[in-house]
Amino acid sequence: MRHFTKKLKAVSLAIMTISMSAQSLAEDIAITGAKIYTMGEAGVIESGTVLISDGEIKQVLDSQRVPNGYREIDATGKVVTPGFIGALTNLGLVEVGMSAGTVDARAGAHPVSTVGAAYDVQYAINKDSTIIPITRIEGFTSAITGMSGTGQLFNGQGAIIGLEPGFNSTLKAKAYAHADLNNNGADRSGGSRASLWVALNQSLEEAGFAANYEFSPTKAWEGWITSADAKALAPVISGEIPLLVTANRAADILQALALKEKFANLNLVLVDATEGWRVAEQIAAANVPVILNPEDNMPSGFDHLGATLENAGKLHAAGVKVAIGMNTHNIRLAAQHAGNAVANGLPYEAGLASLTSNVASIFNVDNMLGSLTPGMRADLVIWSGDPLEVTEAAEVVIINGEEIEMTSRQIQLRDRYLNQDKSKPVSYR
Amino acid sequence: MRSKSSMRMLGVSLAISTLFLTACGDDKKAQQSAQDNPFPSTYQPIESKPVVITNVTILDGIGGKIDKGAILLEDGKIVAVGKSVKSPSDALEVDGTGKWVTPGIIDNHSHLGVYPSPSTHSHSDGNEMTGPVTAEVWAEHSVWPQDPGFQRALAGGVTSMQLLPGSANLFGGRSVTVKNLPNRSVQDMKFPEAPYGIKMACGENPKRVYGSKGGPMTRMANVAGYRKAWIDAQEYRKKWDAYNAALEEGKAGEAPKRDLRMETLAGVLRGDILVHMHCYRADEMAVMMDVMKEFDYKIGTFHHAVEAYKISDMLAENNVCSAMWADWWGFKMEAYDGIRENIPMVHNAGACAIVHSDSDIGIQRLNQEAAKAWSDGKRAGIDISQAEAWQWLSANPAKSLGIFEHTGSLEEGKNADVVLWTADPFSTYAKAEKVFIDGAMVFDLNNPELQPVSDFELGQTFLGGAQ
């Protein structure tokens, strides 16, 4: 697994080097004086130095030191964290969702797939989306991105992307599969959990069979799922990539956990887990992490009656790894979501982990993202203060070793209208 | 207690009319009152002992801040606010050390009750999508007081709110302003002195909903639709004005036939009903302010107003409020130009800025929405104090709803709608600790008995609840 991602990283770095050959290589930077939450083995450093070289974290020191040739950024009194990771987004797959043309984050039925597992977002990612600069200037440096719906059982195969400028920043394609095992999922798969779960089991059984099957256009594949679906799901059965399952009520969560009895290698991740707090011990015992929105406390349906602000805190207390951040246009607000989880019982550092290291480990990219550890991709943020406070902000954002320009379409709109010169039409300002 | 006395008056006049059937003058009056106000408020404040909060940081909601101050609530009113206050011996004393007091939050854009939880199809009562002009429908006839969203909003310090029809229609219907103290009926919640509002909508929604159902299918047809309706309303108003003038002179002819749709629109033209208009784009708001002048009515508030920052000077000149989100954007084309500094930029131009939710989740932490806008403004060089900024949450929405005389600030004599926060409410970690409506403690973070539960949630297997 690790070997695989390392190789991918090497490939993407190679592409990066080629595409940027006209520019200088990433500069060496020393960030000094900040309180550093490494989210790795080095823990919290009250006032230290982060050294960045060749796009990687070179060293994290508990003292102030600027080696020769390093540009110093004085961050005295500030807070440094790893770049935040959007835990579940549609970034690059949508610009405007409603009545505004093609949205790659959703799809309808197509003969290539019976259950939606085969769809693959790696071909759809548009790094020119204005949402990406709007997101990265607020301290989000990478994201998990995938489809929100296919009208079928699975939401296709998602990807992990870096949010730096430039086209080639897919860190991992075919990074996970995702199925909705809640009221919505039931509605799309026959109208009942009684049909949904049979369809799910059938899909996974066939995919398990496909692992040892030589696909060939001259040989008939007579499974219910298409051969493309089967190929996409094979690494789910082997546990190579995680299977995300959205489940809300406690009974659905327990059904999801029981999948591991039948498919032993499943690398299961719960999404939402609205009533997860009721079965937190079982989730912890199954070693299944959860991606959730801690502000979701409305009994919005009959599978959400136990919704509570304390879900994240209670899951963590039971030993469940929690990640936070499900949105797209406002994935930047995940820091506020995590802050509210902290206000309702999640320990502070678990709040930071929910935006960084926990996301990275859930998606098997903790060898690259999510902590300030030597050798990791240099994604980090200097914050004006506590990043979970709604009144604080990212001041410097470094992605893949490069300090990004803190601008976006929104900043430019703001500045145009802060300009009070009315002598000319606005389009000349 | 205007509600009590008017209730008593109504009771008396009904009693008289029953006892003396010949007294047709009174009978007519009662009939008239039922016609003018057929669904009167039955709201009753909860009886309460005096409460004094001391050593507390106070934001008075109109720009003032008192460090280590005190506030006395008595007989449902704010009796004194200052460095120290004299309190009666039977007052409940609350030590506010390290805590903050503000006016209760007023959300002037909520769909609680009309789009309640659980959000089943059978509960979808907010948009009468059967025609683009439905000024005849009243949101209060859809409100389900057992929506568990009310209790969650209360835990976020919301003491009053406006419940609006949706935005599918050019004219969506009447809104209702309520105290956040749900009981058996919507009348039990109605803010006694609040005028009615009407929901109107610009832009994408009406054209999307009606584009294939006979129109409007364009923005130009939206505007034609408003203008046609106002022309009809002018005519209707004229007929009734003539009839009423004749009645005054004792020459009553036959009354024109009532038309509920026109009654609401004529109420707007008379200035009795406040206009709340869903409008995102600057250019559309500019057009609507011209329509408003053409027909001589007042737009009280643009809702959502995602591009208000582009025309903040025009909004100030026309004295129109903007009710906004801190940072929602991009979910449709007309929300594409949203920026995080919208609220402070509108405020900075001298226009009336309001933080609204339009969400059963957002309504639970409007203080954080204001905090984000405030700090984003500060970073863009717009320096507004926290005390000034709190106007976005209480005073300005109260003005937008026509209830500022009664609530929305911590001024002596006003309704004691007050929140005690565990910490600076501009922090993510602050929570509403105690919430008072008309002087009664109706929520307490530390006392389960003061954490109300709706009928819907009672007896469910597991209770998530406001916490």
Establish if A305 touches chain B: CB-CB under 8 angstroms. Answer: yes
Write out pLDDT tens, residues B113-153: 999 999 999 999 999 999 999 999 999 999 999 999 999 99
In A257-286, the residues whose Cβ lies within 8 Å of chain B are: 275, 278
A–B interface: beta-carbon pairs under 8 A: 133
Across the interface, which of B336, B337, B429 has its CB nearest the CB of A343? B429
How near does any CA of chain A get to the CA of B467, in Å?
Answer: 6
Q: Are B191 and B41 in contact (CB under 8 A)?
A: yes
d(CA A60, CA A38): 8
| pLDDT number for residue A212 | 85
| pLDDT number for residue B29 | 60
Chain A residue whose CA is closest to B310: A417
User: In one letter, which amino acid is B172?
Assistant: G
Establish if A297 touches chain B: CB-CB under 8 angstroms. Answer: yes
Binning pLDDT at 50, 70 and 90, where does residue B21 land? very low
Test B428 with A336 for CB contact under 8 angstroms.
yes
In B328-347, the residues whose Cβ lies within 8 Å of chain A are: 328-333, 336-341, 345
Chain B residue whose CA is closest to A304: B118
Establish if A395 touches chain B: CB-CB under 8 angstroms. Answer: no
| pLDDT number for residue A247 | 98
Which residues are CB-contacts of B35 (< 8 A; sequence separation ≥ 6)? B258
d(CA A241, CA A364): 8
Test B375 with A390 for CB contact under 8 angstroms.
yes
Cα angle for residues A23, A25, A26 (degrees, 5° grid): 120
Write out pLDDT tens, residues A141-153: 999 999 999 999 9
d(CA B306, CA B317): 18
Which strand (E) or helix (H) includes residue B299? strand B299-304
- B376 contact residues in A (CB cutoff 8 A): 393
How large is the C-alpha radius of gyration of chain B? 23
d(CA B215, CA B207): 7
User: In one letter, which amino acid is B66?
Assistant: I
Establish if B38 touches chain A: CB-CB under 8 angstroms. Answer: no
| pLDDT number for residue B253 | 85
- Mean pLDDT computed over B421-436: 98
Test A410 with B340 for CB contact under 8 angstroms.
yes
Q: Are B316 and B284 in contact (CB under 8 A)?
A: no
Test B338 with A309 for CB contact under 8 angstroms.
no
d(CA A181, CA B269): 52
Establish if B281 touches chain A: CB-CB under 8 angstroms. Answer: no
Which DSSP category does B150 fall into?
H
Establish if A287 touches chain B: CB-CB under 8 angstroms. Answer: no
- Residues facing residue B178 across a β-bridge: B161, B190
Both structure tokens of B404? 């500022």
Write out pLDDT tens, residues B285-315: 999 999 999 999 999 999 999 999 999 999 9
The bridge status of strand B77-82 relative to strand B65-74 is antiparallel
Q: Which residues of A249-279 are buried (b: 16+ CB within 10 A; e: fewer)?
A: bbebbebbbebbeebeebbbbbbbbbbbbbb
- A297 contact residues in B (CB cutoff 8 A): 152, 361, 364, 464, 466
- Mean pLDDT computed over B76-81: 98
In A199-238, the residues whose Cβ lies within 8 Å of chain B are: none
In A60-99, the residues whose Cβ lies within 8 Å of chain B are: 95-99
| pLDDT number for residue A5 | 43
The residue written with tokens 């994935």 in the block is A331
| CA–centroid distance for A186 within its chain | 25
Q: Are A273 and A290 in contact (CB under 8 A)?
A: yes
Across the interface, which of B120, B331, B372 has its CB nearest the CB of A98? B331
| pLDDT number for residue B8 | 38
B25: pLDDT strictly greater than 90:
no
The residue written with tokens 């914050």 in the block is A383
Question: Helix, strand, coil % (nearest 5) of chain A?
Answer: 30, 25, 45
- Residues facing residue A294 across a β-bridge: none
Test A308 with B330 for CB contact under 8 angstroms.
no
Test B338 with A305 for CB contact under 8 angstroms.
no
B52 phi and psi angles, rounded to 5 deg = -125, 130
| pLDDT number for residue B193 | 97
d(CA A325, CA A321): 14
Quote the percentage of chain B above a pLDDT of 90: 90
- Residues facing residue B54 across a β-bridge: B95
Establish if B402 touches chain A: CB-CB under 8 angstroms. Answer: no
Which residues are CB-contacts of B9 (< 8 A; sequence separation ≥ 6)? none
Whole-number average pLDDT of chain B: 93
Q: At what angle do helices B219-248 and B282-294 cross, to 10 degrees?
A: 30
Binning pLDDT at 50, 70 and 90, where does residue B5 land? very low
Across the interface, which of A299, A392, A414 has its CB nearest the CB of B341? A414
Test B368 with A336 for CB contact under 8 angstroms.
yes
- B365 contact residues in A (CB cutoff 8 A): 295, 340
Test the A interface: residue of B154, B310, B325, B339 with most A CBs within 10 Å? B339
B299 phi and psi angles, rounded to 5 deg = -90, 115
Across the interface, which of A295, A342, A344 has its CB nearest the CB of B361? A295
Instruction: Give me the DSSP letters along A148-173.
Output: SB-SSSEEEEEEEEE-SSSS--EEEE
Q: Are B466 and B155 in contact (CB under 8 A)?
A: yes
d(CA B171, CA B275): 10
Chain B residue whose CA is closest to A302: B118
Q: Which residues of A199-211 are buried (b: 16+ CB within 10 A; e: fewer)?
A: bbebbbbbbbebe
| pLDDT number for residue B36 | 78
d(CA A243, CA B19): 76
Per-residue pLDDT of chain A (429 residues; tens, 9 = 90+): 344 444 444 444 444 444 443 344 679 999 999 999 999 999 999 999 999 999 999 999 999 999 999 999 999 999 999 999 999 999 999 999 999 999 999 999 999 999 999 999 999 999 999 999 999 999 999 999 999 999 999 999 999 999 999 998 999 999 999 999 999 999 999 999 999 999 999 999 999 998 889 999 899 999 999 999 999 999 999 999 999 999 999 999 999 999 999 999 999 999 999 999 999 999 999 999 999 999 999 999 999 999 999 999 999 999 999 999 999 999 999 999 999 999 999 999 999 999 999 999 999 999 999 999 999 999 999 999 999 999 999 999 999 999 999 999 999 999 999 998 889 999 998
Determine which of A21-35, B380-394, B444-458 has the lowest per-residue pLDDT on average.
Answer: A21-35
Establish if A184 touches chain B: CB-CB under 8 angstroms. Answer: no
d(CA B201, CA B285): 11
d(CA B70, CA B104): 16
Q: Nearest to residue A114, comparing CAs of A272, A194, A38, A221?
A: A221
| pLDDT number for residue B252 | 75
d(CA A21, CA A18): 5
Chain A residue whose CA is closest to B309: A417
Which DSSP category does B16 fall into?
H
- A252 contact residues in B (CB cutoff 8 A): none
Test the B interface: residue of A95, A132, A295, A297 with most B CBs within 10 Å? A297
A232 phi and psi angles, rounded to 5 deg = -70, -35
Q: How many CB atoms lie within 10 A of CB B201?
A: 27
Test the B interface: residue of A300, A390, A418 with most B CBs within 10 Å? A390
Test B427 with A391 for CB contact under 8 angstroms.
yes
- B341 contact residues in A (CB cutoff 8 A): 414, 418
Establish if A426 touches chain B: CB-CB under 8 angstroms. Answer: yes
- B345 contact residues in A (CB cutoff 8 A): 414, 417-418
Which segments within A183-289 are labelled E, that is strand? 243-247, 268-272
d(CA A186, CA A182): 6
Q: Would you call B40 helix, strand, or coil by DSSP?
A: coil
Which DSSP category does B133 fall into?
B
Which residues are CB-contacts of B213 (< 8 A; sequence separation ≥ 6)? none
How near does any CA of chain A get to the CA of B76, in Å?
Answer: 31
Across the interface, which of B148, B337, B379 has its CB nearest the CB of A393? B379
d(CA B436, CA B366): 17
